[in-house]
Amino acid sequence: MQPSGIRKFFDIVAESPDAVSLGVGEPDFDTPKVGREFAVRMINKGLTQYSANKGLLRLRKLIAAYYSERYGLSYSPENEIMVTVGASEGIDLALRATVDVGDEVLIPSPSYVSYCPCVSLAGGVPIPVPCYEKNNFRLTSEDLRACCTDKTKILILPYPNNPTGAVLEKEDLQKIADVCAEKDLLVISDEIYSELTYTEKGHVSFASVDGMQERTIVLNGFSKAFAMTGWRLGYVLAPRELLYSMYKIHQYVIMCAPTPSQYAGIACLESGLEDGFQEVLRMKEQYDFRRRFVLDALKKAGMDCFEPQGAFYVFPSVQKFGMTGEEFANRLFAEKKVAVVPGGAFGESGKYNVRISYAYSIRDLTFALKKIAEFTASLV
């Protein structure tokens, strides 16, 4: 197993204090004040003990209410929801609870770097399903079906997508659902960027597609929507039998998610359900503005880039410059001290792309994009 392609690159960047980074997928906003203050009050009251293994019941009830309001889905807080240490723990639990040695797990490529290693650690075989820029990096039912074999057991469905920013509409999901039913696939739907969807219709949870809730493990969390990356707070929603298997692993390995983080999550969700998630919408509007700003700047710099509709990344192609994403990123850093992530870190389908995060201030983006434009001009 190789080290993370992202961290490997940014270990080098960290040693250059004058570098400007557009590589980290972390909100530059503060955690909502209501969450921070409530967590502090609970800490000052001494409420820092273990919670129930599945998480505070109050939080699980709020998660159930959130998915009911947002997607019309019904989950039992007692038996079908579990709080995890970030959505990352959820990925690991879902795979370890369901993968037998030799099982094949389909993963759209490019995608988040953790999926393939976690499949391997669980004894499975990760099978990349290439997604193409001509399709706006959407997973298609045709490409999915072509990769299925007798050993295929699971599909990981990571939309909105990191690193591409691609989203799937309900029509796309229905076609994928048809293949999953035909091939009897379990689906792990990673919806961590669900609130950062810029289409008119918004995010559609895969579990809300007819017949899919019973075969879907939904992963989500607070890191992106509520700017809570360091709090390490995620959750899993799944059919009772599947959640029970994940719960047993979580019980022995983790015990429970940090209790102060859970209190922060409670306050954020309670406030959001009352006011229509105004704080989340405020952050989303800023990301959307930056998204359009970055796209315009990259096009002016002569870079080819499809318009992402989710998350906070753009994924421009650098193939026209005769370079791979890694070559482009290395030269850009060496010559302009601007760091972006080589697309190949997310799978072979991203070999000729780079990932640029716009989870940064307009000031930082303006400065970095000016340097990128200078660099691309030197390549013509």
Domain boundaries, the chain: 5-25+279-379, 33-275
DSSP classification of residue 105: E
Q: What is the pLDDT of residue 213?
A: 98
* pLDDT confidence bin for 12, thresholds 50/70/90: low
Residue 5: pLDDT above 70?
no
* pLDDT confidence bin for 17, thresholds 50/70/90: confident
- The share of the chain scoring above pLDDT 70, in percent, equals 98
Q: What is the pLDDT of residue 2?
A: 75
Reduce the DSSP state of residue 362 to 3 states and report it. helix
Q: Beta strand pairing status for 81-84 and 234-237?
A: antiparallel
- Identify the CA nearest to 193 among candidates 109, 284, 130: 284
Q: What is the pLDDT of residue 289?
A: 98
Cα–Cα separations (whole angstroms), residue 19 to 22, 290, 330? 10, 21, 13
Q: What is the pLDDT of residue 18?
A: 83
Q: What is the pLDDT of residue 54?
A: 98
Residue 259, C-beta contacts closer than 8 angstroms, at least 6 positions apart: 42, 47, 48, 49, 50, 51, 56
**How do residues 99-119 score in pLDDT, each as one tens digit?**
999 999 999 999 999 999 999
Q: What is the CATH number of domain 5-25+279-379?
A: 3.90.1150.10
What does the mean pLDDT of the chain come to? 96
Residue 23: pLDDT above 90?
no
Residue 8: pLDDT above 70?
no
Length in residues, the chain: 380
Q: What is the pLDDT of residue 222?
A: 98
Average pLDDT over residues 352-378: 96
Residue 363: pLDDT above 80?
yes
Pick from 9-13, 285-289, 305-309, 344-348: least confident: 9-13
Cis peptide leading into residue 258 (ω within 30°) = no
Residue 290: pLDDT above 70?
yes
Residue 14: pLDDT above 90?
no
The CA distance from 23 to 330, in Å, is 13
Residue 172: pLDDT above 70?
yes
Fold of 33-275: Aspartate Aminotransferase; domain 2 (3.40.640)
Say what the pTM is.
0.96
